[in-house]
């Protein structure tokens, strides 16, 4: 009986191994983003000081098109954060390179809203956009994920 | 337990078989593949974008003047070199040479012109930000046209005064300006330029810029032409039968192009370029000066008086987003060059920014093996494609040649 199970295991292990190897190879070649990627466009900053939401000016975001984002920042108790200093960078974690542009805040729209210009993503795939926010409760950071 | 093992095994066998079938016998496209394939077709190319920096960009009279200037060999030091010397209309506006030959030999490969009106950055390193600013570079290059801007301005006065005046207003009086003067010249050419006053310099610069704008108006009419691949994409988009347009091998190559070959990382969109700059580990040419690509060009384009924000641009500052938000030069930009459009690529060897690689097969071998960069860091990783896959990719690239036999002029 134990012999039979061993043989049976051996028999089934071939397609299972094939599937596993094939799966890894396909995963590597296609470089999919992590399956559990958080694609939400509104989230708490890393230290929990602020809530930040972003609204890309293009929907869906297309590869290679320069566009702007509106960033909304509020405190933990939901008050809009005015006069914050915001820095934007980002890149493709799986490729090890940054954004093709250097986006900047072009206008403080009031009520905790800021216009960011110069967003551009020049490849399909997984991108991250990092916002560094310096406001009344101190500096904090937040990362948004995009898949183009 | 046994039942679940059996189901798992059946699924495994099924998946493995499906994966093998998908990789070897393409019959259908997944939703993601379809999206990528359609994004590469000419039907996805938007209308020609406006060039707010060039007020005559879309004028037929400007294009007519620009065409005359493009093919006029008087715009050279020895009277034998025009833009058309290296940008041959019958050869996709390039010259089939590793490095361009004007009055001397350059350090870079001649780039084709079709579709450059869509590009925010011109030249392999993007040191110019418009077609008209680009057109001015070779005129003052010692190894290309070998002229200077005072010479060009005088020449316009002698041969093109009426056409020029109709487009740009009367030519300035340049009687007091020497025959030759320019900031990119040497010896007396440079000395004579430095001796001019600011009003004279500005007048010459303006004529020079307008020459570029007329040439750009002509170059805007040089557009990418449909290929067999586009015919295939059109059928696919319409949900019609695509059989008989691409061979099975070409279809295999297309699947690799949008998948395992990772070509669309940089060669994306209907022009198959991301208009950015990448170090792909291409070897340096022995004997040529160090070439650091984009990392030098960033400062050059920012300092260029003919850029979008400069005094000779017709744009409002708000029109110059590419220049305003340009990514500054870091380590990534060392030996980074613009991916050329792949349209027509199979019929225009040699390849790379200095013609380093003779054949398309060798180019694909380069990307497959991902050699280390001579300087900076290559973005490539080995693809591990087998010989059949490389042959399929090469076959697919052949399907990007224009169908039409007549030459666009």
Sign of CA dihedral B205, B207, B213, B219: negative
Which chain B residues are closer than 8 Å to A26 by Cβ?
Answer: 19
Four-point Cα dihedral A47, A53, A54, A59, nearest 10: 130
Q: What residues contact residue A127 under an 8 Å CB cut-off, 6+ apart?
A: A90, A91, A92, A121, A145, A146, A147, A148
The residue segments making up the domain with residue B110 are 60-219
**Portion of chain A with pLDDT greater than 90, in percent:** 70
Is the same domain home to B211 and B355?
no
pTM: 0.88
Is the same domain home to B229 and B130?
no
Task: Examine residue B131 and state whether it is found in any structural domain, yes or no.
Answer: yes
- Is 80 exceeded by the pLDDT of residue B82? yes
pLDDT, residue B344, reads 97
- Is 50 exceeded by the pLDDT of residue A19? no
Question: What average pLDDT score do residues B220-249 get?
Answer: 96
Is the same domain home to B151 and B214?
yes
Is the same domain home to B36 and B109?
no
Question: What average pLDDT score do residues B224-231 get?
Answer: 97
Task: Examine residue B13 and state whether it is found in any structural domain, yes or no.
Answer: no
Is the same domain home to B122 and B260?
no
Structurally, how many domains does chain B consist of?
A: 2
- Whole-number Cα distances in Å, B215 to A60, B59, B182, B203, B333: 36, 11, 20, 19, 30
Mutual orientation of helices B161-168 and B60-70 as an angle, nearest 10°? 140
Strands A67-75 and A50-56 turn out to be: antiparallel
The minimal CB distance from A29 to the residues B36, B260, B326 is found for B260
CB B132 within 8 A of CB B310: no
- Is 80 exceeded by the pLDDT of residue B154? yes
Is the same domain home to B122 and B253?
no
Task: Examine residue B317 and state whether it is found in any structural domain, yes or no.
Answer: no
Minimum CA–CA partner of A90 in chain B: B327
Alpha helices by DSSP H, B141-197: 149-159, 161-168, 188-195
pLDDT, residue B13, reads 55
Is the same domain home to B137 and B82?
yes
Question: What average pLDDT score do residues A47-68 get?
Answer: 95
In sequence order, what E strands does B5-74 have?
none
- Is 50 exceeded by the pLDDT of residue A16? no
Task: Examine residue B127 and state whether it is found in any structural domain, yes or no.
Answer: yes
Task: Examine residue B101 and state whether it is found in any structural domain, yes or no.
Answer: yes
pLDDT in tens, B179-196: 999 999 999 999 999 999
Q: Please tell me the distance from the alpha carbon of residue B363 to that of residue B365, in angstroms, as a whole number.
A: 5
Is the same domain home to B164 and B73?
yes
Name the phi and psi angles at B49, rounded to 5.
Answer: -70, 145
- Give the closest-approach CA distance of A135 to chain B in angstroms: 24
Q: Please tell me the distance from the alpha carbon of residue B383 to that of residue A124, in angstroms, as a whole number.
A: 18
Does ipTM come in above 0.85?
no
The minimal CB distance from A15 to the residues B9, B265, B275 is found for B9
Task: Examine residue B289 and state whether it is found in any structural domain, yes or no.
Answer: yes
Which chain B residues are closer than 8 Å to A18 by Cβ?
Answer: 12-13, 16
Is the same domain home to B215 and B229?
no
Q: What is the CATH number of the domain that holds B91?
A: 1.10.760.10
3-class DSSP state for residue A69? strand
Is the same domain home to B37 and B71?
no
Strands of the sheet containing A104-110, edge to edge, are: A42-44, A50-56, A67-75, A113-119, A104-110
CB B366 within 8 A of CB B301: no
pLDDT, residue A20, reads 47
- Is 90 exceeded by the pLDDT of residue B161? yes
Boundary residue ending a domain (B219, B245, B270): B219
Task: Examine residue B313 and state whether it is found in any structural domain, yes or no.
Answer: no
Is the same domain home to B78 and B173?
yes
Is the same domain home to B161 and B64?
yes
The H or E element containing residue B84 is helix B83-86
- Is 90 exceeded by the pLDDT of residue B50? yes
Boundary residue ending a domain (B219, B248, B270): B219
Tell me whether residue A92 is exposed, middle or buried, using C-beta atoms within 10 angstroms of its C-beta: 0 to 12, 13 to 18, 19 or more. buried
Task: Examine residue B300 and state whether it is found in any structural domain, yes or no.
Answer: no
pLDDT in tens, B355-404: 999 999 999 999 999 999 999 999 999 999 999 999 999 999 999 999 98
- Give the closest-approach CA distance of A43 to chain B in angstroms: 26
Boundary residue ending a domain (B186, B219, B252): B219
């Amino acid at each position: 009986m134990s012999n039979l199970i061993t043989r049976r295991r051996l028999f089934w292990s071939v397609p299972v191994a094939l599937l596993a190897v094939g799966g890894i190879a396909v995963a590597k070649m296609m470089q999919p983003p992590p399956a559990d990627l958080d694609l939400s466009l509104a989230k708490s900053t890393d230290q929990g000081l602020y809530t930040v939401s972003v609204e890309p000016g293009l929907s869906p975001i297309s590869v290679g098109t320069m566009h702007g984002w509106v960033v909304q920042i509020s405190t933990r108790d939901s008050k809009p954060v005015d006069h914050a200093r915001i820095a934007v960078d980002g890149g493709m974690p799986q490729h090890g390179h940054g954004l093709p542009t250097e986006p900047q805040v072009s206008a403080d729209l009031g009520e905790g809203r800021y216009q960011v210009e110069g967003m551009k993503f020049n490849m399909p795939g997984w991108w991250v956009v990092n916002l560094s926010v310096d406001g009344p409760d101190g500096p904090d950071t937040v990362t948004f994920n995009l898949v183009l | 337990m046994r039942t679940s093992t059996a189901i798992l095994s059946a699924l495994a066998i099924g998946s493995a078989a499906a994966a093998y079938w998908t990789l070897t016998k393409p019959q259908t496209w997944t939703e993601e593949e379809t999206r990528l394939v359609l994004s590469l077709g000419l039907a996805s190319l938007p209308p020609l974008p406006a060039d707010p920096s060039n007020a005559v960009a879309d004028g037929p009279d400007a294009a007519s003047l620009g065409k005359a200037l493009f093919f006029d060999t008087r715009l050279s030091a020895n009277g034998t070199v025009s833009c058309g010397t290296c940008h041959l209309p019958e050869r996709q506006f390039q010259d089939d040479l590793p490095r361009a030959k004007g009055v001397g030999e350059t350090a870079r490969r001649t780039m084709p012109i079709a579709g450059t009106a869509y590009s925010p950055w011109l030249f392999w390193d993007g040191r110019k930000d418009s077609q008209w600013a680009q057109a001015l570079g070779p005129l003052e290059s010692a190894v290309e046209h070998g002229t200077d801007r005072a010479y060009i301005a005088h020449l316009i006065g002698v041969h093109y005064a009426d056409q020029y005046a109709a487009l740009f207003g009367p030519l300035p009086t340049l009687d007091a300006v020497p025959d030759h003067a320019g900031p990119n010249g040497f010896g007396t050419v440079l000395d004579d330029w430095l001796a001019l006053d600011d009003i004279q310099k500005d007048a010459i610069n303006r004529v020079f810029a307008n020459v570029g704008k007329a040439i750009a108006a002509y170059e805007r009419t040089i557009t990418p032409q449909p290929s067999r691949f586009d015919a295939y994409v059109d059928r696919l988009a319409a949900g019609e039968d695509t059989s008989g347009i691409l061979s099975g091998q070409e279809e295999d190559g297309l699947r690799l192009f949008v998948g395992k070959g990772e070509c669309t990382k940089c060669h994306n969109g209907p022009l198959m370029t991301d208009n950015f700059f990448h170090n792909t580990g291409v070897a340096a040419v022995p004997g040529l000066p160090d070439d650091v690509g984009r990392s030098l060009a960033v400062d050059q384009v920012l300092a260029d008086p003919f850029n979008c924000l400069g005094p000779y641009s017709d744009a409002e500052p708000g029109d110059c987003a590419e220049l305003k938000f340009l990514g500054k030069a870091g380590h990534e930009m060392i030996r980074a060059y613009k991916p050329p459009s792949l349209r027509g690529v199979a019929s225009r060897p040699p390849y790379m920014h200095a013609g380093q690689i003779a054949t398309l097969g060798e180019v694909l071998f380069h990307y497959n093996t991902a050699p280390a960069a001579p300087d900076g860091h290559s973005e490539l990783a080995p693809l591990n494609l087998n010989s059949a896959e490389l042959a399929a990719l090469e076959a697919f690239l052949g399907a990007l040649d224009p169908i039409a036999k007549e030459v666009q002029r």
